[in-house]
Amino acid sequence: MYSMPKYNELRKQFGNFASWAIWDKNKEYDTEIIDKNIKILHSNFVFVGLNPSKNLRKVKWSNFRGGKHDRKLKYACEIDCLRGSYLTDLFKNFTKKSSSELKKEIDKKNKNFIKKVFKDFQSELDKICFNPQKGKIILLGDTVQKFFKKHFKLNDNDPLKKCILNYKHYGCWGTDKDWVEGLWDKLVIKYKVNSFENIKKLYK
């Protein structure tokens, strides 16, 4: 839970490229629901994508909303412990639909660029008050996972290393239900047999 001053600070710093796992049931694009529910926002779970797949609207917290497959993330994070989680991308200012295109572009950059990206990411974690002793970082997709493995150098005793989990991207092939329940299983979240179906009905 964040105080209003802290929330406003995060909104100013990260609102142009990050978001929070709470969606309006009737207006998926509407980010006002975030401003109205500050008390449920948290950094216990941090979802990390590769980069924005489209130019983001000039509205704070507009990432992860209205994309072709964003609904999978939306359904998964409707379960209590994930609701209000932090959502961000590793590469903030690279808008590419293809991860392979992005990788080619990033590979052309020098090592200092990559170092800065990960330094900024660690700073972002600090500012949202992420606690590696209690929280989880979920890397979404093969490409971002490979970047972390290659460039995010942590020693074996670093608690941050132990809290990173890999999971397939929500844009990959498969049913919504399989993706959502697979994520819950990965995070060892208990759910009922009909949890997914009941959540999906909320957004119809």
More confident residue, 27 or 183: 183
Alpha carbon distance 170, 53 (integer Å): 13
- Of the segments 60-69, 105-114, 140-149, which one has the largest average pLDDT value? 140-149
More confident residue, 196 or 109: 196
Alpha carbon distance 179, 76 (integer Å): 8
Place of tokens 């009737």: 26
Q: What is the CATH number of domain 4-202?
A: 3.40.470
More confident residue, 26 or 13: 13
Q: How far apart are the two ends of the chain, measured CA to CA in Å?
A: 29
Query: At 183, is the secondary structure helix, strand, or coil?
Result: helix
8 half-sphere exposure, CB direction, 13 A CA radius: 3
Mean pLDDT over 54-64 rounds to: 81
More confident residue, 203 or 107: 203
Which pLDDT does position 1 carry in this prediction?
A: 81
Of 47, 18, 17, 28, which is closest to residue 179 (Cα–Cα)? 47
Max Cα-Cα span within the chain: 49
At residue 134 the predicted structure's pLDDT band, cuts being 50, 70 and 90, is: very high
- 13: enclosing H helix or E strand: helix 4-14
Which pLDDT does position 11 carry in this prediction?
A: 97
Query: Domain locations in the chain?
Result: 4-202
Mean pLDDT over 192-204 rounds to: 90
DSSP state of 39: G
At residue 203 the predicted structure's pLDDT band, cuts being 50, 70 and 90, is: confident
Residue 55 has pLDDT above 70, yes or no: no
Which pLDDT does position 168 carry in this prediction?
A: 96
CA angle 119–120–123, rounded 5-degree value: 90
Structure tokens at 191: 């759910």
The strand pairing partners of 138, in sequence order, are 47, 165
Alpha carbon distance 168, 157 (integer Å): 26
- 47: enclosing H helix or E strand: strand 45-49
Residue 103 has pLDDT above 70, yes or no: yes
Which pLDDT does position 72 carry in this prediction?
A: 94
Residue 42 has pLDDT above 70, yes or no: yes
Which pLDDT does position 173 carry in this prediction?
A: 87
pTM score of the predicted model: 0.94
